[in-house]
A and B are shown apart, each in its own frame.
Chain A
Amino acid sequence: MSASSIKAARPHAEHPGSGPVVWAAIIAGTCLLLLVFQKVLWLVVPFLLALILYYFLYPPVRALIYRGMSRDAAASLVTLAFLVLLGIVGVALMPRLTSQATQWQDTVDRYVQGGTQLLDASLRSLERHSPPLARAHLADTVAARLTQSTGSIADHLEPVALGIMAWTPSLLLAPFLAFFFLRDGRRFKRFLGAAVPNAFFERSLFLLHEIDRTARAYFQGLINLTILDTVTLAAGLWLLGIPGPLALGLICAVLAWVPYVGSILGGLLVVLVAATDFPADPTMAYWAIGLFGLVRLLDDFLYMPMTIGKSLELHPLITVLMIFAGGAVAGIPGLMLVLPVLGVVMVIGETIGLIVTDPRLMARHRHAKALRRIQASADL
């Protein structure tokens, strides 16, 4: 949902925009939440994956309910079908993955080596054309530092593998959480709505709806963006003749979920693969860089506004500042979570600001409380 549509539907749209106090509270609230989320990442990550899964599985559940199935049965059937599909894919891929597992370390070493060679060749070429760079022995210095780093990458493979193993049980929570979201989501919405006083009910209902709509638009936009990025990158890599274009495209698209850092990592990955698989043809790596740059441009100016941009249309300055703040407060998880969290906190903050500054609503709430007090003490 775009910000313009939020504003169009926002209650009492004639009110001026939120003031600096509300915005300071929104930014502080977002940072605080990110800080808390970082501490309970073992729960936040499966919760987030479950939300994505919920919005992905919700349309078939709704279709089954409409065809006469109960909500419980529809949620169970769709979740079960998803798990079976996941199991089939896992079983199909398992032999291939296990056969390659032993070669992973060699493969990583080979690609890192290929990237190092490309960088070395590029720097030496630069040195030939630029005497100041040659005098600084830039290529030798970078090569020496990279040799140390590549050694450490290989050393870190084992902890990364152990980390994945440690995270697996937590990630398995995601489908179960998604099942309960699908089955009991409306009860939770009613439960929240019932806790709100009558005077604020319509506004709060609007708030709940906005949060749901913002989250749905964001996560569905993210899924669509990933598909678009994967298809475009895979098509480009296939045209260049780079092996495994679909897998590479998918990995880069998923890495792009982390703003800026993810895109750089994805680009690096593509360049490493191109440089290693075509060692005699460095232009292939430059083509890969060009392709990645083109996809980033398409992403920023076409795909993003078509998908996620529709859900969270924040001011670019606030977006960039909050991404940096998210990274500073909560690291990589902060970078990933900052925009959806900010979107939700923004809706909550602005709506609460509108409610507490409306004297008529507050008066109605006081009046309703007085009526309830009188009713409670009527026969005392």
Chain B
Amino acid sequence: MVTLFQPKKTSPRLDRLHELSLFVNLTPAELEIVDGLLHERIYLEGEVIFDEGDEGQAIYIIASGEVLISRQDQGAHVDGHDPAASLPRRRQGDTGRVAQLGPGTFFGELALLDNSSRSAQARAASPCKLIVFFRDDFVGLLDTHARIASKISRQLACHLGARMRTLASSMSVNQRLV
């Protein structure tokens, strides 16, 4: 019985999960719990992962490959054009580009927190493998394994804080330029 509760041996899969920034603080036993909730998806270059305006159900973690995050050209709405008209321009990557993310990073994280719509489109910039963590599984984790959920929430808060700082500094640079 004692051996049954020995510290969990890690597997290559759990090691890979541990390297992801969202799960970096989790122990092997905690990773095992989280691993049971994760899904893997393969996307081809150019394939849409989710659209701007979709209701977010999950957070995506990039295991390999790159993902382009882009927004529709706000001007198109103002001019009264059909929003779909901006899609070809966005597809070329020259308009509305927000970021290009690589392995280990995650996106769509706001979906873990609320039911709000996706604020940007995510598209595979190269063939990529994504790990998907569904919001309801995360909410379930808050109820059943609050310690694990709090560790993930902390990483999420750190990530959002860093993004806010980046945004604030870029806004102050813009103001100085103006």
Contact = CB atoms under 8 A, between A and B. Distances in A.
Interface of A: 8-9, 11-13, 62, 65-71, 73, 77, 186, 190, 193-194, 198-199, 201-203, 205-206, 209, 213, 360, 364, 367-368, 371-372, 375
Interface of B: 4-8, 29-30, 32-33, 36-37, 39-41, 43-51, 54-55, 57-58, 115, 132, 134, 136-137, 144-145
A236 to B, nearest CB: 35
A213 B5 contact: no
A209 B48 contact: no
Q: Chain B interface secondary structure, helix, strand, loop or mixed?
A: mixed
Nearest to A62: B144
B39 A12 contact: no
Contacts of B4: 68-69, 73, 77
Given A198-B43, A205-B132, 5 more contacts: A203-B57, A205-B57, A209-B136, A213-B136, A360-B51
B8 A68 contact: yes
A95 to B, nearest CB: 32
A65 B47 CA distance: 37
Nearest 8 interchain pairs by C-beta: A202-B57, A186-B36, A371-B44, A68-B29, A68-B5, A209-B136, A11-B55, A364-B48
A360 to B, nearest CB: 6
Contacts of A8: 115
B50 A202 contact: yes
B47 A202 contact: no
Contact of B47 (A12, A70, A368): A368
Contacts of A360: 51
A364 B39 CA distance: 20
Contacts of A69: 4-5
A367 B47 contact: yes
B5 A66 contact: no
B177 to A, nearest CB: 38
B50 to A, nearest CB: 7
Given A201-B41, A205-B132, A371 B5 contact: no
A367 B153 CA distance: 35
Nearest to A8: B115
B36 A71 contact: yes
A371 B44 CA distance: 7
Contacts of B50: 202
Contacts of B5: 67-69
A186 B37 CA distance: 8
A198 B41 CA distance: 7
A110 to B, nearest CB: 51
A197 to B, nearest CB: 10
Contacts of A206: 57, 134, 136
Nearest to B56: A202
A370 B82 CA distance: 25
A9 to B, nearest CB: 7
A11 B21 CA distance: 28
B36 A205 contact: no
A206 B58 CA distance: 9
B144 A11 contact: no
B131 to A, nearest CB: 12
A368 B51 CA distance: 14
A65 B134 contact: no
A202 B44 CA distance: 17
Contact of B145 (A13, A66, A198): A66
B42 to A, nearest CB: 8
A67 B7 CA distance: 9
Contacts of B36: 71, 186
Nearest to A187: B36
Contact of A209 (B29, B40, B45, B134): B134
